[in-house]
Amino acid sequence: MTKIDTVFSGSIPALYDAVMGPLIFAPYADDLAVRIAALNPARVLETAAGTGIVTRALLRSLAADAAIVATDLNQAMLDHAAAQVSSDRVRWQVADAQALSFPDQCFDAVVCQFGAMFFPDKALAYREARRVLKPGGHFIFNVWDAIELNEFADLVTAALADMFPDDPPRFLARTPHGYHESQTIITQLRGAGFSAVTADTVALRSVASSCREPAIGFCQGTPLRSEIEARGALRLDEATEAAADRIAARFGSGPVDGLMQAHVIAARNGPA
C-alpha cells in the first residue's frame, strides 16, 4: 500500500457515495447490517465508515434504541457521511482503527465494511477491535475477494495497464483486492484473541445503467484517481474512457451486470 491509497479528498467522497455506493457497496452494506441486527446489539462501533453507506443500512436494520458510533480516519469522508444522515442515534468521530480512543469493553459489536485492507497493521487493528468489545461481543467485517472475481475492477485495471504499460496504476489490485486470503485473516483474528472465527464468501451482482458508470466510479471516485493523475494531470478523462471502452467490450454499452465477490468475516470476543 502507498500513501495515496488512503487519500479520499476533493470530489472523491461525493463520487464514491453516489456512484460506487449503489454499484458495489450498498448490497454488501445491507448484508452486514442484517448480520449485525441479528445480534441485537445496543451499542455498535463502525470503523472505516467512509461516506456512511453501512451506517445508513444499520439505521434501517437495528433496533430503534440502538446507538452507533461511526468512525473513519478521513475527515472529508465523515463530513460527507454526516451530511447524508440526520439521526441522534449516530455519533461521527475521526478515529484510527489501530488506536481507538474508547474504553475497554464498551461496545456490543464492531463492524467494518471494506476497510481492513487499508489498515497498515491489521493485527493491531484486530486487537483494538477486541479490546473495545464487551465479552461475548462480535466483530463482523468484509473484504473483497481476488480482483479476478470482481469483473468491473479487473477490467478497469486491465484497461489502465494498456494505457500506462510502463507504470500501470495498480491501486485496485494492490489494496482493495490485495487482502483476500480468508485463512490468513482467520489466523490473524485468532492470534488477536478472537474465537469462533468464520469466513463466508458472498457473490453478488454489480449493476449499472451503462458502461460509463463503473468507469467513472473506479477512475474518479477512488484513490485510483490520484494514481492516474500522477501519470498525467490531464489524462483522467482519457483513462475513464479507456475503462468504459473495456467494460463495453465485455458487457456492451447499455446496462451492465458484472460479478463481484467478497468474504464476510465474523469473530467473537470470548470462548467459542
Name the least confident of 3-7, 50-54, 161-165, 259-263: 3-7
Instruction: Give yes or no for residue 41 having a pLDDT over 60.
Output: yes
CB contact at 8 A, 46 and 70: yes
- Give domain limits for the chain: 3-268
Residue 264 · residue 202 · CB < 8 Å: yes
Residue 225: per-residue pLDDT? 95
Alpha-carbon span 22 to 8, nearest angstrom: 18
The dihedrals phi and psi of 169, each to the nearest 5 degrees, come to: -65, 125
pLDDT average, residue stretch 34-48: 98
Amino acid 188: pLDDT: 98
Place of cell 484513490: 223
**Domain 3-268 has what CATH class?**
alpha beta
Task: Give me the mean pLDDT over the 54-69 stretch.
Answer: 98
| pLDDT higher than threshold 80 for residue 215 | yes
Instruction: Indicate the pTM of the whole model.
Output: 0.95
Whole-number pLDDT of residue 242: 98
Mean pLDDT in residue range 102-130: 98
Sequence-separated (6 or more) residues with CB below 8 Å from residue 166:
none
Mapped onto helix, strand or coil, the DSSP state of residue 204 is strand
Lowest mean pLDDT across 16-20, 55-59, 208-212: 16-20
- Please report, as a single letter, which amino acid is at residue 45: L
pLDDT band at 6 (very low <50, low <70, confident <90, very high): low
Higher-pLDDT residue of 3, 12: 12
Give the residue-averaged pLDDT of 143-155. Answer: 98
Question: Could you tell me if 137 and 196 are in contact, meaning their C-beta atoms sit under 8 angstroms apart?
Answer: no
Q: DSSP letter for 19, please.
A: I
d(CA 215, CA 243): 5
SS3 category, 166? coil
Report the run of H or E that residue 212 belongs to, with start and end. helix 212-220
Q: What would the mean pLDDT of 163-192 be, rounded to a whole number? A: 97
Q: Residue range 51-65: average pLDDT?
A: 97
Provide the pLDDT for residue 271. Answer: 77
- Cα separation of 243 and 96, whole Å? 33
Burial class (CB in 10 A: 0-12, 13-18, 19+), 39: middle
Average pLDDT over residues 78-93: 94
Q: What does the pLDDT read at residue 254?
A: 92
**pLDDT confidence of residue 253:** 83
How much is the pLDDT for 141?
98
Whether the pLDDT of residue 73 is over 60: the answer is: yes
CB-facing half-sphere around the CA of 223: CA atoms within 13 A: 19
Instruction: From residue 113, give the alpha-carbon distance in Å to each of 49, 51, 61, 118, 249.
Output: 7, 11, 16, 11, 31
Question: How far apart, in Å, are the Cα atoms of 148 and each of 6, 20, 220?
Answer: 22, 18, 21
% of the chain beyond a pLDDT of 90? 91
Q: What was the pLDDT predicted at 97? A: 97
Terminal C-alpha separation, the chain: 34
Quick one: what percent of the chain has pLDDT higher than 70? 96
Residue 84, pLDDT above cutoff 80: yes
Number of H helices, E strands in the chain: 11, 7
